[in-house]
Amino acid sequence: MATNRLLPHAIVFGTPKSGTTTLCGALMRHPDIYMYPKKETHFFNDLFTKRDMSWYKGLFTDAPDGALLMEGTPDYSMSHCVDRTLERIATHIPDVKLILMVRNPVDRIESHYIQMLSNTRTEISIDQALEKWPEIVETSDYGAIVETLRQYFSEDQLLVLFLEDYKSDKSTVHAQALEFLEVDASRIPLETVNTQKALHKREDQGVDCALLARLRRWKHYDRINMLMPSWIIALGKRTLRSPLKVPTKLPPATRARLEAEFNPKWAQFQEEFR
């Protein structure tokens, strides 16, 4: 059983669009785990210079005594910030365990493009986006992420999970995660994990209007959002977001180029970790 404290014992730290939301939702159901309910605190990447450790610790004050504390922010692994983010985490939580969730790197790039449009309220072509945001591509270099992680943490602090395995057998992968976290796997109703629906589906992505984008920057937004009933959140998204109007598939030539770059790295990474 975890000792009492106000810093996470474990973090789902990457990668974007690899099933981390569904994984966090499943782990949240375990009675021995307190997963911060609003996924993606963004503390160690975006908010570290704007808010302090007291604010971060305050996110976990509702945790029951003895719970294993967790949060999930897959953007921690993005290539443009992963080094400084991991250095910050290592400085403040050196004993933390980290879960890296990955998927086919080219498929991840395609999905990440859609999320970036949704997050930035910008609609540009895939090729333009990959030039504007090189981190979309670079974050699929999982070997480079692991090498950065090894500069700050030991091997036994890392668990690599694959979305493809999670889709085919959630129970087994979830049991892997619980073993890594050293919590009792018999205390989770696995049937609820197997029926957990995928979240953040591509067809649900849209572009925020100016009002919603401004609200998201409000410091109390996450707390208020957590208290809102799901039907109000759904209504708000339908009202304050507009559907994307750009193609959401990689052009064949772009896909072929990316596959030529990433397929050898992907094969090597799977050989080591899968």
pLDDT for position 122: 73
The helix or strand, by DSSP H or E, that contains position 84, with its residue range, turns out to be: helix 82-92
Query: What CATH number is given for 10-104+141-199+266-273 in this structure?
Result: 3.40.50.300
Residue 272 has pLDDT above 70, yes or no: yes
Extract the tokens encoding 195. Answer: 């029926």
| Omega prior to 15 cis, within 30 of 0 | yes
Extract the tokens encoding 118. Answer: 């949704």
- What gap in Å lies between CA 266 and CA 262, rounded to an integer? 6
- What gap in Å lies between CA 274 and CA 34, rounded to an integer? 28
Tokens 């937004």, residue located: 221
Q: From residue 164, how far is each of 18, 67, 103, 125, 161 by CA, in Å?
A: 9, 29, 6, 27, 9
- What gap in Å lies between CA 24 and CA 28, rounded to an integer? 6
Tokens 């205390």, residue located: 187
Arithmetic mean of pLDDT, 203-221: 64
Q: Is 15 helix (H, G, I), strand (E, B) or coil?
A: coil
pLDDT digits (tens, 9 = 90+) for 25-81: 999 989 999 999 887 899 999 999 999 999 999 999 999 999 999 999 999 999 999
Min mean pLDDT across 61-75, 170-184, 209-223 is at: 209-223
Q: What does pLDDT average to over the chain?
A: 86
Within 10 A of 249 (CB to CB), how many other CB atoms are there? 11
- What gap in Å lies between CA 235 and CA 237, rounded to an integer? 5
pLDDT for position 115: 83
| β-sheet bridge partners, residue 159 | 99
Tokens 């986006």, residue located: 129
DSSP string spanning 91-150?
A: HH-TT-EEEEEE--HHHHHHHHHHHHHHHHT----HHHHHHH-THHHHTT-HHHHHHHHH
Arithmetic mean of pLDDT, 99-113: 96
CA 144, 150, 151, 157: dihedral to nearest 10 degrees?
140
Of all residues in the chain, the percent with pLDDT exceeding 90 is 64
**Quick one: how far is CA 138 from the chain centroid?**
16
Residue 4 has pLDDT above 60, yes or no: no
Min mean pLDDT across 14-18, 71-75, 115-119 is at: 115-119
Arithmetic mean of pLDDT, 215-235: 68
Tokens 């991991």, residue located: 86
Q: From residue 17, how far is each of 133, 198, 269 by CA, in Å?
A: 16, 11, 18
Arithmetic mean of pLDDT, 243-259: 85
| Domain positions in the chain | 10-104+141-199+266-273
Q: Of the candidates 135, 85, 106, which has an alpha carbon nearest to the alpha carbon of residue 18?
A: 106
pLDDT for position 107: 96
Q: Which of 109-118, 169-178, 235-244 has the highest mean pLDDT?
A: 169-178
Residue 68 φ then ψ, to 5°: -85, 120
